[in-house]
A = this chain, B = another copy of it.
């Protein structure tokens, strides 16, 4: 455990600490996760497609993809196709699984309209420990469906 996790830091402060370890910024994770999603089906993805999927402009994509290539996570040559390396694929899969896990958890406790956004904002920063807790709690809720049923009642009774 990083002792710095116990001290207070700003939001940016924690992000810097995390980045020291993983080399990946939240944005890079976003790009990699999306590349993974798309490549799983198509085998490759183009800069323009990514810019649409991520709602950013093409030059931002070019730059980030080049950085991911520098890190050895994607294969990319100018004007070419974006493909994942083995390592990129491994990490992409982890990222997608994390996304799905958090999304499913938030969905269980009743988040609807902002599900995508909330998942997105949580996933990049959550600790492995918290992810574990969520995973475990998720399984527990799945194995005991009556709890969520009761919770729905409870919600209604409180006028939510």
Give residues in A with beta carbon < 8 Å to B. 1, 5-15, 26-27, 29-31, 34, 53-56, 106, 109-114, 116-118, 120-122, 124-127, 129-130, 132-134, 136-137, 139-140, 143-144, 147, 150-151, 154-155, 158, 160
In the complex the two chains form, is B136's CB within 8 Å of A158's CB? yes
**Nearest CB in chain B: distance from A52 CB, A:** 10
A34: chain B residues at CB < 8 Å are 8
Of B5, B125, B158, which one neighbours A139 at CB under 8 angstroms? B158
In the assembly, what is the distance between CA of A6 and CA of B112, in Å? 10
Of B10, B15, B116, B129, which one neighbours A111 at CB under 8 angstroms? B129
A53: chain B residues at CB < 8 Å are 8
One complex includes copies of this chain to the number of 2
In the complex the two chains form, is B158's CB within 8 Å of A120's CB? no
In the complex the two chains form, is B121's CB within 8 Å of A125's CB? yes
In the complex the two chains form, is A136's CB within 8 Å of B155's CB? yes
Given the known interface contacts A34-B8, A55-B8, A106-B130, the answer about A14 and B117 at a Cβ–Cβ threshold of 8 Å is: yes
In the complex the two chains form, is B55's CB within 8 Å of A13's CB? yes
In the assembly, what is the distance between CA of A135 and CA of B26, in Å? 27
Q: In this complex, what residue of B is CB-closest to A118?
A: B130
A27: chain B residues at CB < 8 Å are 10-12
A130: chain B residues at CB < 8 Å are 106, 111, 114, 118
